[in-house]
Amino acid sequence: MPDFVKIALTPVALKALAQRGLGGLGVGLGVGGSLGATLGAGAGAVQGAEGGETTADKVRGALVGALGGASRGAIIGAGVGGLGMAGAGMTQGGSKLLGRLAQGENAVGSLGRFGQRQVHSVTGWTPKGFHNPQGVREMRGGAYDAAKRFSKAREGIGPLPERGPISPASRKAVKEYAGSVTQLGAAEDAERMGLTSVPGVIKSMKDNGIGKTIATGIGEQWHSGPMGKLMVGLPVAGAAKEMMTPGENKGERVGGALGGLGYSMAPVPFLGSMVAGGAIMKGMTAGGRGIDKLRAKRRALEYPASSSVTLDNSGSVGPVEHQYSPAALGQPPADMIG
């Protein structure tokens, strides 16, 4: 084997190649997906409008066609752009160019960073190496938004009077600052534990325990704002509703509802949250199903098949009290007994 091939296949060289290629892949996914969605929406709108007879039908067809075309275009554009820019990014010059594009304060830069965050969410890659907190911030991920809110809130407090009442505007500014401190602390805890990517979440569960990992991720989401509270509250409310609803498979239903927390338990970007959330939901649903089976076995031991049992409206099992007529017991009717 030639020496240059041996050098190219060393772990260090392969890691450097992957580092550059994944960066290009992220930029391609973001930019290509956006362009594909735009072109697909336009083509779909034209095609959908052509099939309508009335103006209302044309408008309806254009909207439906635009949505379908945008979805198909985004997938095709992301695939083509991602593969193309991944190849370009493997070269040193191409990697530097795509890196500068992703750092731009414009639409291309925003789309590039969005795509890179999706790559990070499933691989742990960052522009500064795998699982690098500074690289996560460079992509505007992790605790970036919380730190930005904190800086803005701190500047907004302004001078406060040493004596006398505080103005309503100052009280509002202080309240915002306090909220930003709480949010930043929760976001930095999640970022420090690596909860910005699926590999990081798995590693944290191994190093810190499943309970602490999930609690930290949920805490980050809860303190991120009203939308975060809603994303945490909805699965919990759904689980409470299932708990109060009688019927079979209650454990499976409750577990599936709580599994929705998997989609919001950590600051993982969209693509990674779909992967992690789906796995967590399946796991909690399976856990609930196991609880149902254990409860069924316990009921079978308490009430063997030879005994008469019934299932009431609440789903619980209990013995049935039977009443027999005198004729069934071989006795004459009561009014014939002297």
- Closest-CA residue to 64 (of 86, 41, 87, 83): 41
pLDDT tens digits, 57-109: 666 666 666 666 665 656 666 565 555 555 555 555 655 665 666 676 777 77
If you search the block for the tokens 């336009």, which residue do you land on?
42
Q: pTM surpassing 0.75? A: no
* pLDDT for 255 beyond 60: yes
pLDDT tens digits, 264-308: 766 787 777 778 778 888 888 888 889 888 888 888 887 665 545
Reported as a pLDDT band with limits 50, 70 and 90, residue 195 is very high
In this prediction, residue 270 carries a pLDDT of 72
Rounded to the nearest 5 degrees, what angle is found at the Cα of 102, between the Cα atoms of 90 and 267? Answer: 105
Q: Where do the structural domains in the chain lie, given as residue ranges?
A: 1-141, 142-192, 193-338
More confident call, 50 vs 294: 294
In this prediction, residue 20 carries a pLDDT of 59
CA–CA distances in Å: residue 166 to residues 152, 171, 174, 312: 20, 6, 10, 62
* pLDDT for 171 beyond 70: yes
**What are the tokens at 184?**
């930043």
| All residues at 6 or more sequence positions from 145 whose CB lies less than 8 Å from its CB, including other chains | 187, 224
Instruction: Give burial (CB, 10 Å; 0-12/13-18/19+) of 221.
Output: buried
| All residues at 6 or more sequence positions from 222 whose CB lies less than 8 Å from its CB, including other chains | 186, 228, 229, 232
Provide, rounded to the nearest whole percent, the portion of the chain with pLDDT above 90: 17
Q: Any idea which of 140-154, 174-188, 217-231, 292-306 has the lowest mean pLDDT?
A: 292-306
Q: What's 309's DSSP letter? A: E
* pLDDT for 14 beyond 60: no
Whole-angstrom distance, CA of residue 42 vs CA of residue 307 = 69
